[in-house]
Amino acid sequence: MKKGIAEVPGFKCGVGFGGIKKTEKKLNRPDTLVIVTERPADFSAVFTTNDVKAAPIKVSMEVKGKVSGIVANSGNANACTGERGIADAVEMAKLTSQLTGKGRFLVASTGVIGEPLPMDKVRRAIAEAVKNLGKAKGEEPARAIMTTDTFPKTAFKEADGFVVGGITKGAGMIDPSMATMLAFIGTDAKVEPELLDRALKEANEESFNAITVDGDMSTNDCVFLLSTGLGRDIGKEEYSYFVEVLKEVMKSLAYQIVKDGEGATKVARIKVLGARNKEQARRVARKIALSPLVKTALFGCDPNWGRIIAAAGAAREGIVEEKTELKIGKYLLFKGGRVEYREEEVSQYMKNSEEIEIEVNLNLGSESFTYLTCDLTYDYVRINAEYRT
């Protein structure tokens, strides 16, 4: 069994079948998730920076102090739903408090934008999830928040004196860009709130903020990190160790989102090194990662270095063509200019790799940044051109 947030000491999960979206019902997949902590938990959160924020985001942004858990639904994003949406999100959190006899809950939704929540179904599903608290283990909580995802996404890390476990969802509308995707992470480590905030932001920059599927930023992105404090005490001295563990879990979750990118057949790891500073590296990597011409070339297993160099230059971060080096896998394709290589060999490497390594050395400094992206395929177009159902 793959472990996730339910395996973190002090966390219990329950799921419900509300039939919020017809297709979820067909798949026999739960659409509602309640996560409860044994005792009130400190938490940290990062939210989408989209100007248009879904109702649950607005409601969760107001939560201060400790929380008793999270309530979430899939199939309906409760976004662009006005005052009624806010009232519905508030009710989801309150109902979960009442039924569990606990304190405040964070709330999250994911799915179609612009439809009002079918609250009868949601209420029924929350009641069911609460009744079943403790029964949803491993991948089951992650299944309850899937939409176009094709597999549930969990990560778990047993560290020295504490554990970190989490779940996430996402496959399209992925370009967190200073916000993040829907992800719920728990730890039993005892971390004071300010350190928890710092750790989440730091880990986030290299995980959820370093991926893209389609450059589209969601109205519902959020990451919640809850700490029950049942495990080891994390002070300033243990901080960097804690962040490393958290990063590992969050990077694993972020990787799974890209791997499950809508229609994707390949993951590409775009590493930009030799940059003057991290921001330069990040921007160049991001521009390459977003380029539809690079993404279609990945799909075609075409080592089209010209498109990669053109995308890097389009970032307008002052790269110097004459200094730039480019490798795909172990193959050097460009070193201040075209170099000789056997194209068939590189194409074969791309065909045989589920994960393609692209390394761009700017030779301007010593900073680096790695961005994850996926290929752009017929299936991405099919999935997103089909009429909403």
Position 336 contacts its own copies (CB under 8 A): yes
Q: Which residue is listed with tokens 């806010």?
A: 86
Single residue of 97, 347, 348, 353 touching its own copies by CB under 8 A: 347
What is the phi/psi pair of residue 355, to 5°?
Answer: -125, 115
* 361 annotated binding-site participant: no
- Residue pair 73/92 in contact by the 8 Å Cβ criterion: yes
Q: What is the DSSP string of 258-327?
A: HHT-TT---EEEEEEEEESSHHHHHHHHHHHHH-HHHHHHHHTT---HHHHHHHHHHT-S---GGG-EEE
Q: Which of 11, 17, 43, 305 forms a contact with its own copies (CB under 8 A)?
A: 305
332 lies in the site for its own copies, by CB under 8 A: no
Tokens for 104, please give them.
Answer: 């405040």
Residues 2-61 that bind its own copies (CB under 8 A): 49-53
For its own copies, the closer of residues 245 and 362 by Cβ is 362
12 is in an annotated binding site: no
Residue 180 annotated as catalytic:
yes
Q: Say how many residues touch its own copies, by CB under 8 A.
A: 69
Catalytic-role residue among 32, 81, 100, 180: 180
Cα(254)–Cα(170) distance, integer angstroms? 9
C-alpha to C-alpha distances, 140 to 43, 58, 73, 185, nearest whole angstrom: 23, 27, 14, 15
Burial class from Cβ neighbours inside 10 Å (0-12, 13-18, 19+) for residue 322 reads exposed
CB of 97 to its own copies, least distance (A): 27
Is residue 365 within the footprint of its own copies (CB under 8 A)? no
State the minimum distance, in angstroms, from the CB of residue 364 to its own copies: 11
Main-chain phi, psi angles of 17, to 5 degrees: -110, 100
48 is in an annotated binding site: no
Lookup: tokens for 219: 């109205």
Tokens of 302: 């075409």
Residue 141 vs 170, nearer CB to its own copies? 170
- To the question of whether residue 96 is assigned a binding role by annotation, the answer is no
306 belongs to the binding site for its own copies (CB under 8 A)? yes
Sequence ranges of the binding site:
147, 169, 180, 262, 384, 389
Binding site for its own copies (CB under 8 A): 49-53, 77, 79-82, 112-116, 172-173, 175, 177, 214-219, 290-293, 296-297, 299-302, 304-307, 309-322, 334, 336-338, 347, 376-378, 380-382, 384-388
Residues of each annotated binding site for substrate? 147, 169, 180, 262, 384, 389
